[in-house]
A and B are shown apart, each in its own frame.
Chain A
Amino acid sequence: MSTPRREEIVAWVVSAIMPHEAAVRGWLRRRLQSPEDIDDLIQEAYAKLAALTSLDHVERGDRYFFRIVRNLLVDKIRHARVVRIDSVADIDLMNLDTAEPGPDRITAARQELAKVAALIDALPDRYRQVVRMRRVEGLSQKEIARRLNVTESVVENDAVRGLRLVIKALKGGDAADAKSDVQGGRHASNR
């Protein structure tokens, strides 16, 4: 593989990165107070992936993504001039033993895409119809508009809303998730 095409990066993100996003967010929640900071950092991490010129050196997407996020976090801490690392949480940040997603998390991540499927099932009818016609049947915007008897801009809006709901769900931000992540981390440190 030489320079990856955009589609290759996107396909790799779908199969190797996205399933781990919720776990990485769980890890970040224990270190960053504000949800806005977490969102910023995740977007910055994806920006690093978007800029990749090769996927050859990446053996495992989850670890790679995690490492990017951790380095961004370290940068943030340093720029905040909290130079000395002496709190337990910060030492933990340096300690990859506890920082790596544990095997439980990795297995759980494999089921993450199945969750996306469940989420699509739960999409409001209109959004799901538009998504199906476009992503599965490959119909044009005009054709979708005709079949649903709506304007083309409604088609576009519904598609955007459906997509947003899916992106949101991929963040997996519920409390139960954060809790299981703490246990996952502990498990990893006991190996």
Chain B
Amino acid sequence: MRQTADQIEEEAAAWVVRLDLEGRTDGLRAELDAWLAVDVRRQGALLQAEAAWAALGGAQARAAIGAREAASGDNRGRRRFLLGGLAAGLAAAFAGLVVLGQAEHYATGVGEIRRVPLRDGSTAALDTNSEIAVSLSRGRRAVRLVRGEAWFHVAKDASRPFQVEIGQARVQAVGTAFSVRGQGQGAEVIVTEGVVRAWIKGSEGQAALLPAGVVAIVGADGQIAQTRGPAEGSGRLAWMEGKLDFRGETLAQAVVAFNRYNVRQLVIVDPELARQRIHGVFRADDPVAFARALEVTLGARVSYADPKQIRITGPRR
């Protein structure tokens, strides 16, 4: 008969105490392996019990047990918390900061999304595989979007306009929030707060004032096309939360979006499936979960065998 989780938990606790008191001898180890092999849940329960036992020797637990005198000379607890700190540190180190000349470069790799505080109090958020160069001087604040997409929340400073340069396009603000990404020689601008001024270099006379809620394409010819769609705009900025928000895009478009964030690429084999329209919010860094959702909702068949890609075919007909 199948053991209950509770019975397994009891046995796992006994194992952990036994291993600790008797030591991990070869004989005991073999006995343990035999026990573990019977049910995969036992492997989980053992780890849970080991972690709880370890926590009992941790700093907080130690204080609770009331043995302050024993705290000196044993840094096991401290090492444990250092490990957590180390992981956090590694994650933080991913946002590469390279200082080149006066401009500070910030870059993200594939799948990475970063918020970067700037020295003037503004904030930049970089989408996957993006780079900005920031030069702050007394008279102006200039940012060049080298590649990718970035959103800016601009600190108010009327004496120093904040200008983003992307290809030939220019977007300027005093205190507001907006995102930009390249589109040919021009740019796409989404204004989330306040008002920005946008133009193409050389045709500043045609500059347009873009209010919040506007999505605008600043064309290389100096023409500025606006669509007012707050819903569309906010969906497009889901990347700032590490998410992709689809509102009736085709599966083909969704796959392109996912593939910008991940080394493991989604491949749609079935053209009919690729035309299906989808709705939903997904984590940008989890193509497997997205593929699973397609399996369940569209009946797609998915192959996860290849670590470099996930192949998706249509339902069996």
Residues of A within 8 A of B (CB): 6, 8-18, 36, 39-40, 42-51, 55, 58-60, 67, 70-71, 74, 77-78, 83-85, 94-97, 113-114, 116-118, 120-121, 128, 131-132, 134-138, 140-141, 155-156, 159-160, 162-164, 166-167, 170, 191
Q: Closest chain B residue to A15 by CB distance?
A: B84
Q: Does B280 contact A (CB under 8 A)?
A: yes
**Knowing that A6-B50, A47-B44, A160-B13 are A-B contacts, what are 19 other residue pairs whose CB atoms are under 8 Å apart, sorted by A's residue number?**
A10-B54, A11-B83, A15-B80, A15-B84, A43-B9, A46-B47, A74-B296, A77-B296, A78-B295, A95-B280, A116-B60, A120-B56, A121-B64, A132-B65, A132-B66, A132-B67, A135-B65, A141-B22, A160-B17
Q: Which of A77, A83, A136 contacts B65 (CB under 8 A)?
A: A136
Structural contact, A141 and B56, CB atoms closer than 8 A:
no
Which of A8, A40, A84 counts the most chain B CB atoms within 10 A? A40
Structural contact, B297 and A85, CB atoms closer than 8 A:
yes
Please give, as numbers and ranges, the residues of chain A lying within 8 Å of B55 by CB-CB distance: 14, 18, 113, 116, 166
Please give, as numbers and ranges, the residues of chain A lying within 8 Å of B91 by CB-CB distance: 59-60
Structural contact, A164 and B13, CB atoms closer than 8 A:
yes
What are 8 A-B contacts with C-beta separation under 8 Å?
Answer: A11-B54, A14-B58, A15-B83, A58-B87, A116-B55, A160-B17, A166-B52, A167-B48
C-alpha gap A156/B21 in the complex (Å):
8
Structural contact, A96 and B64, CB atoms closer than 8 A:
no
Structural contact, B45 and A46, CB atoms closer than 8 A:
yes
Structural contact, B41 and A14, CB atoms closer than 8 A:
no
Q: Does B63 contact A (CB under 8 A)?
A: yes
Which of B4, B62, B70, B296 counts the most chain A CB atoms within 10 A? B296
Given contacts A13-B51, A67-B289, A117-B63, contact A83 B296 (CB under 8 A): yes
C-alpha gap A47/B79 in the complex (Å):
24
Q: Which of B10, B20, B42, B58 contacts A134 (CB under 8 A)?
A: B20
Please give, as numbers and ranges, the residues of chain A lying within 8 Å of B8 by CB-CB distance: 43
Q: Closest chain A residue to B21 by CB distance?
A: A141
C-alpha gap A136/B60 in the complex (Å):
12
> Min CB distance, B308 to chain A, in Å?
15
Given contacts A136-B70, A164-B13, contact A131 B56 (CB under 8 A): yes
Interface residues of chain A: helix, strand, loop or mixed (majority): helix
Q: Does B57 contact A (CB under 8 A)?
A: yes
Which of under 10, 10 to 19, 20 to 34, or 35 or more describes the interface residues of B?
35 or more
Given contacts A137-B67, A137-B70, contact A44 B14 (CB under 8 A): no
Structural contact, B80 and A14, CB atoms closer than 8 A:
yes
Q: Which of A45, A121, A155, A163 contacts B52 (CB under 8 A)?
A: A163
Please give, as numbers and ranges, the residues of chain B lying within 8 Å of A167 by CB-CB distance: 9, 13, 48-49, 52
Q: Which of A50, A96, A113 contacts B281 (CB under 8 A)?
A: A96
Q: Does B104 contact A (CB under 8 A)?
A: no
Structural contact, B58 and A164, CB atoms closer than 8 A:
no
Please give, as numbers and ranges, the residues of chain B lying within 8 Å of A17 by CB-CB distance: 51
Q: Which of A14, A39, A97 contacts B54 (CB under 8 A)?
A: A14
Structural contact, B43 and A50, CB atoms closer than 8 A:
yes
C-alpha gap A84/B298 in the complex (Å):
8
Please give, as numbers and ranges, the residues of chain B lying within 8 Å of A74 by CB-CB distance: 292, 296
Structural contact, B6 and A156, CB atoms closer than 8 A:
no
Closest 10 CB pairs of A and B: A46-B44, A39-B5, A47-B44, A117-B64, A43-B44, A43-B41, A15-B84, A13-B51, A97-B281, A47-B43
C-alpha gap A131/B60 in the complex (Å):
14
Q: Closest chain B residue to A166 by CB distance?
A: B52
C-alpha gap A71/B296 in the complex (Å):
12
C-alpha gap A138/B20 in the complex (Å):
10
Please give, as numbers and ranges, the residues of chain B lying within 8 Å of A162 by CB-CB distance: 56
C-alpha gap A12/B57 in the complex (Å):
14
Which of A10, A13, A70, A95 counts the most chain B CB atoms within 10 A? A10
C-alpha gap A67/B63 in the complex (Å):
33
B residues 1-42 near A (Cβ < 8 Å) are 4-6, 8-10, 13-14, 16-18, 20-22, 40-42
Q: Which of A6, A85, A96, A113 contacts B243 (CB under 8 A)?
A: A96
C-alpha gap A94/B280 in the complex (Å):
8
> Min CB distance, B110 to chain A, in Å?
14
